[in-house]
Amino acid sequence: MENCGKEIGPGMDELHVEYKEQIYTMMERLHAGGFTQGSVHQRNWLVQPGPLNVAPVKRSVMRPSFRMIDFGRAACEQDVSEVDFKSKVNEENSRIRELLDYECHDHCPK
C-alpha cells in the first residue's frame, strides 16, 4: 500500500487559493472521467510534499501534492442514470466548494 500523505486537517478553507484550485480541479477531472467520489469529506483529502514527479529527497512541503482517497462509495457514470450522475456531480461540486470556501469563477458549473 502506498503512503499517500497526511490528512490536511482542519482548515481546508484556509488553504491558499492556488491549492484550493488544485483540489477543485482534481474533482472536476474525476467527474469528467465519468466518476463520482461518493464521500466528499475533509478526511478524504491528503497532502504530501511534492511535486510527485521528482525524487522523494527533492520534494518539499512548499510545493504540496494533494490526493483524494476513499472511493468505497464511488459511482461510474455508465452504471447510473444520466440524471442521477449529474445530481451526484452537482452535490459533490457544492460540497467541495463548501469545504474549501472556494468561489469558482469561469470554470465552475452554475
CATH code of the domain covering residue 47? 1.10.510.10
Q: Which three cell numbers stand for residue 5?
A: 500523505
**Does residue 72 belong to any structural domain of this protein?**
yes
pLDDT of residue 18: 93
- Residue 109 within a domain: no
Give the per-residue pLDDT at 41: 95
Residue 1 inside a domain? The answer is no
Residue 51 belongs to a domain = yes
pLDDT at 81: 97
Work out how many domains the chain is built from and give that number: 1
What is the reported pTM? 0.87
Mean pLDDT of successive 10-residue stretches along the chain, which has 110 residues: 82 91 96 98 94 94 94 97 98 96 70
Assess if residue 19 is contained within a domain.
yes
Task: Examine residue 105 and state whether it is found in any structural domain, yes or no.
Answer: no
Say what the pLDDT of residue 109 is: 55
For residue 71, being part of any structural domain is answered with: yes
Q: What is the residue range of 29's domain? A: 6-100
